[in-house]
């Protein structure tokens, strides 16, 4: 049965700080249970449940009670079918209708794809064997302009959960960090664009193409500019390794791959927006997070910054989470990053292999930056 299976997704609710949280969803006999990354567990009964399929891609599953006070969502293609296996009559009827509509759309899409394959199959095989699942190699072969377009669209459409902070000293402080570390990344022509958003969330994330978002909650919680530089260096790692585009390729598969190879970004923009929103809330895979860690440590060291600063931020958040000094609901960055102890150990091992480097402090008056926050 599906009762014991966890489905990665999220929750929108006014009762959560910031209005949203990543969550693991569980299908239980009488409905759904969401274990959020921020601590609280929420339940939704099948009685009165409304199930919809939508989002920018048309593939995200949304479940809401009759008063629509909370929303559970999941982008896993099997979630709707699993829900239909245990849902009672009224909800099952909704799901059957949604399946029927989805089936008609997929049939039309299949015909279209077969027509396209005949024209581009040689190209597909040439671009690193994408038909055999070599998503990472295929992503590496795609032009950077695709990352930039996907990131631009996702950023412009995404609900950031707060207003952008425009105070000059804050903007200049973040730009000083970018200018210090960016020479030590192979950006392949991408331009890094950093935004500070007013929210209690202790969080930061990156979108394809170089869009970086840092929340004021993280700036306030960090011990200083060096720890913020560590977090930003980690997020830039996701950008240069194209983890967002890789996630899209892994999730959407052949159809999206063909569209991207043909330069048809519009065909996957909607689905990409949904997937990148989920990634911003829930983080990336264990391998991708570790890759971003290693890249950050190397860049911080090369830039004359303390590479242990990222470890320090991790340990500070873990201590606050364990002690209850800060409500776990707002410690989004550490809760969305898996296997913290293993990652800290790996970074420490990497740092011991580095040559001693003279540190050059960042030219930032951190107290003035914090005082300028809303």
pLDDT digits (tens, 9 = 90+) for 79-128: 888 999 899 889 999 988 887 766 544 433 433 333 333 333 333 333 43
Residue 281 has pLDDT above 90, yes or no: no
| 350-370: pLDDT as tens digits | 999 999 888 999 999 999 999
3-state helix, strand, coil in the chain (%, to 5): 55, 15, 30
Domain boundaries, the chain: 6-98, 139-371
CATH of domain 6-98: 2.30.29.30
**Given a cut of 90, is residue 202 above it in pLDDT?**
no
Residues 6+ apart with CB under 8 A from 213: 155, 160, 194, 195, 196, 197, 204, 205, 206, 207, 280
- Backbone φ and ψ of 73, nearest 5°: -140, 155
pLDDT given at position 127: 40
* Distance separating alpha carbons of residues 308 and 268, to the nearest angstrom: 39
Nearest by Cα to 12 from 3, 22, 4: 22
Instruction: Kindly state the percentage of the chain with pLDDT values over 90.
Output: 42
Q: 324 falls in which pLDDT band (50, 70, 90)?
A: low
Residue 268, pLDDT above cutoff 60: no
pLDDT at 148: 87
Q: What is the pTM of this model?
A: 0.65
Q: 211-231: per-residue pLDDT in tens? A: 999 999 999 999 999 999 999
Q: How confident is the model at residue 247 (pLDDT cuts 50, 70, 90)?
A: confident
First-to-last C-alpha distance (Å) of the chain: 49
Instruction: Note the pLDDT of residue 273.
Output: 55
Question: Per DSSP, what are the bridge partners of residue 61?
Answer: 53, 74
Q: What integer is the mean pLDDT of 245-258?
A: 62
Q: Which residue has the higher pLDDT, 154 or 135?
A: 154
pLDDT single digits (tens) 23-58? 999 999 999 999 998 778 999 999 999 998 876 555
Q: Which comes out higher in pLDDT, residue 2 or 237?
A: 237
Among 226, 242, 208, smallest CA distance to 135 is for 242
Residue 302 pLDDT > 50: yes
């Amino acid at each position: 049965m599906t009762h014991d299976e966890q489905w990665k997704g999220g929750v929108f609710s006014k009762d959560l700080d910031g209005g949203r949280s990543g969550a693991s969803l569980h299908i239980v006999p009488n409905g759904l249970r969401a274990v959020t990354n921020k601590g609280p567990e929420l339940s939704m009964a099948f009685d009165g449940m409304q199930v919809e399929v939508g989002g920018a891609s048309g593939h995200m599953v949304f479940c809401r009670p009759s008063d629509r006070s909370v929303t559970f969502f999941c982008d896993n293609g099997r979630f709707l079918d699993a829900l239909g296996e245990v849902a009672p009559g009224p909800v099952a009827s909704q799901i059957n209708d949604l399946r029927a509509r989805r089936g008609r759309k997929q049939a039309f899409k299949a015909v279209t794809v077969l027509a396209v394959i005949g024209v581009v199959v040689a190209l597909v095989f040439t671009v690193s064997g994408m038909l055999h699942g070599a998503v990472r190699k295929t992503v590496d072969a795609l032009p950077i302009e695709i990352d930039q377009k996907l990131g631009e669209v996702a950023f412009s459409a995404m609900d950031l959960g707060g207003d952008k902070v425009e105070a000059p000293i804050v903007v200049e402080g973040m730009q000083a960090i970018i200018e210090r570390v960016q020479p030590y990344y192979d950006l392949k022509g991408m331009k890094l664009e950093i935004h500070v958003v007013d929210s209690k969330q202790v969080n930061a994330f990156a979108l394809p193409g170089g869009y970086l978002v840092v929340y004021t909650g993280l700036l306030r919680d960090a011990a200083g500019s060096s720890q913020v530089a560590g977090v930003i260096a980690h997020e830039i790692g996701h950008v240069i390794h194209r983890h967002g585009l890789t996630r899209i390729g892994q999730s959407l598969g052949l159809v999206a791959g063909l569209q991207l190879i043909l330069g048809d970004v519009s065909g996957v923009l909607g689905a990409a927006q949904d997937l990148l929103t989920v990634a911003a809330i829930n983080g990336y895979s264990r391998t991708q997070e570790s890759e971003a860690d290693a890249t950050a440590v190397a860049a911080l060291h090369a830039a004359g910054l303390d590479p242990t600063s990222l470890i320090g931020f991790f340990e500070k958040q873990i201590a606050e989470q364990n002690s209850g000094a800060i409500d776990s609901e707002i410690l989004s960055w550490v809760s969305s990053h898996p296997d913290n102890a293993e990652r800290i150990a790996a970074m420490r091992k990497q740092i011991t292999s580095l040559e001693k480097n003279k540190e050059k402090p960042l030219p930032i008056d951190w107290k003035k930056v914090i005082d300028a926050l809303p």
